[in-house]
Amino acid sequence: MADALKIGIAGLGTVGASLFRILGERHNMLAVACGRDIRVTAVSARNRSADRGVDITATAWFDNAVTMAAEADIDVFVELMGGAGDPAYTAVKTALNRGLHVVTANKALLAKHGVELAALAEEKGVILNFEAAVAGGIPVIKALRESLTGNTVSRVYGIMNGTCNYILTRMEKEGLSFEACLKEAQRLGYAEADPAFDIEGNDTAHKLSILTTLAFGTKIAADDIYLEGITNISLEDILAARDLGYRIKLLGVAQKTASGIEQRVHPTMVPQDSVIAQVDGVTNAVAIESDVLGELLMVGPGAGGNATASAVMGDIADIAKSRPGSQLVPSLGRPATMLDAYIRGEMQSHEGGYFIRLTVEDRAGVFASIATRMAENAISLESIVQRPQAATQGDDRKTIILVTHATTESSVRKAVDTIETEGYLIGKPQVIRIERPKAA
């Protein structure tokens, strides 16, 4: 049997503690599968004595993750601290420079420094694995990096944030408030340390930027993503969508367009009978459209200790199975030096239907004016309805919901901008894009 593979885990939060426990429980099973022992020989976290439900007393302790990366007796540095900056960035670079393999679940770090870190791993001849960084336990990195090699990908999209999907699902099914659902997602260990990253869409954007690179072979461009989170989605929107036969999901979409690659993250209405609409709670789904295979849809647990630890365990097992001198799979699907420049496709070219919710003063001519503004911008309406009075509204205001046929982002913007100047609107209009996914 080969020598044991020695692991150092930096970060013992929900995921790190789950990983530590699972690697211990499955020691024999992993040894058989990998042909060698996998042993956690070092750990690092902020607080040594925190109660994590695991016994770390027999494992070498480091107060500082960078010191652990530089000095610990380990073969693999597992980074589960999170955050795009330090200590994660310096710790991972230190580990790679020292010739250690690295496994990370840190999408923010990869979104910012992924190309540099992949290049460094390649230069040092070590593995940089990050399956857990995107869509929790779903093996989407491996699918794009390895299984779809030779395919030309045209689109990748999906539900990539468990916290947001959990919130939207519980609001719809149980009529709970946004805040109550978010608190529960935090309690269950789904949310980021700062949950603003979840609900404002940044987490999905980080994940999408990684998928874009793997799908299209371009450099990571996390700052070139149109971004809207779910903080403006009200229970009223969710219920109106349901009555119209739709569900609201936070989708990340990356696709090739005539002008480049379009990356966007925003709340999206999908038909209730589509597969993606059925993806509830913390579950994630990623669809990949490619020319040889066609559409691949992967659905599975998207966040939480065990789901994420499962992906990290798989990455560690891949390292344990690799043999010195064997060809390594490039972290980003192709050598980092071979990645193409990213060219942004214009978001304004996005076409599809739109849901528009307007709260208006209840007076003559308002309906006609709205319909006129739509017609002026060549927007064809699928429906226009007045919603029943909400208990909180007075008699002097009404909610009007429009659903448009396919039109352009710029036409909708122009129509809504004009409506906003006409004096009958109360509050901000709500605009949600509608997607009709092919198979998903």
Q: Supply φ then ψ for residue 399, to 5 degrees.
A: -105, 125
Mark whether 207 is an active-site residue.
Answer: yes
32 closest CA partner among 321, 313, 309, 310: 321
Minimum distance from residue 168 beta carbon to ligand HSE (Å) = 12
The answer to whether 403 and 353 are in contact (CB under 8 A) is yes
Decide: is 435 part of the binding site for ligand HSE (CB under 6 A). Answer: no
Looking at the DSSP bridge assignments, the partners of residue 336 are: none
How much of the chain is helix, strand and coil, in % rounded to 5?
Answer: 40, 25, 35
Candidates 72-80, 160-168, 384-392, 399-407; binding stretch for ligand HSE (CB under 6 A): 160-168
Decide: is 331 part of the binding site for ligand HSE (CB under 6 A). Answer: no
Candidates 80-88, 186-194, 344-352, 409-417; binding stretch for ligand HSE (CB under 6 A): 186-194
Instruction: Classify the C-alpha dihedral 373-374-377-378 as positive or negative.
Output: negative
Decide: is 14 part of the binding site for ligand HSE (CB under 6 A). Answer: no
Decide: is 79 part of the binding site for ligand HSE (CB under 6 A). Answer: no
Residues 6+ apart with CB under 8 A from 262: 226, 253, 254, 255, 256, 344, 345, 346, 347, 349, 350
User: Under the phi-then-psi rule, with left for phi > 0, alpha for psi from -120 to 50, and beta for the rest, what region is 135?
Assistant: left
Query: What x/- string results for residues 120 through 159 when contact with ligand HSE is judged by CB under 6 A?
Result: ----------------x-----------------------
What is the footprint of ligand HSE within residues 293-322 (CB under 6 A)? 302-303
How many residues of this chain interact with ligand HSE, rule: CB under 6 A? 11
- List the one residue from 75, 79, 131, 198 that touches ligand HSE (CB under 6 A): 198
CB nearer to ligand HSE: pick between 309 and 366: 309
Decide: is 162 part of the binding site for ligand HSE (CB under 6 A). Answer: yes
Minimum distance from residue 158 beta carbon to ligand HSE (Å) = 12
Minimum distance from residue 195 beta carbon to ligand HSE (Å) = 8
| DSSP codes, 169-220 | HHHHHH---HHHHHHHHHHTT-S-SSTHHHHTSHHHHHHHHHHHHHHH-B--
Decide: is 192 part of the binding site for ligand HSE (CB under 6 A). Answer: yes
Report the alpha-carbon distance of residue 225 to residue 251 in Å, rounded: 12
Quick one: tokens of 103?
Answer: 């496994």
CB nearer to ligand HSE: pick between 178 and 354: 178
Catalytic residue among 93, 112, 142, 207: 207
Looking at the DSSP bridge assignments, the partners of residue 112 are: none
Contacts with ligand HSE by CB under 6 A lie at: 136, 161-163, 190-192, 198, 203, 302-303
The catalytic residues are 207
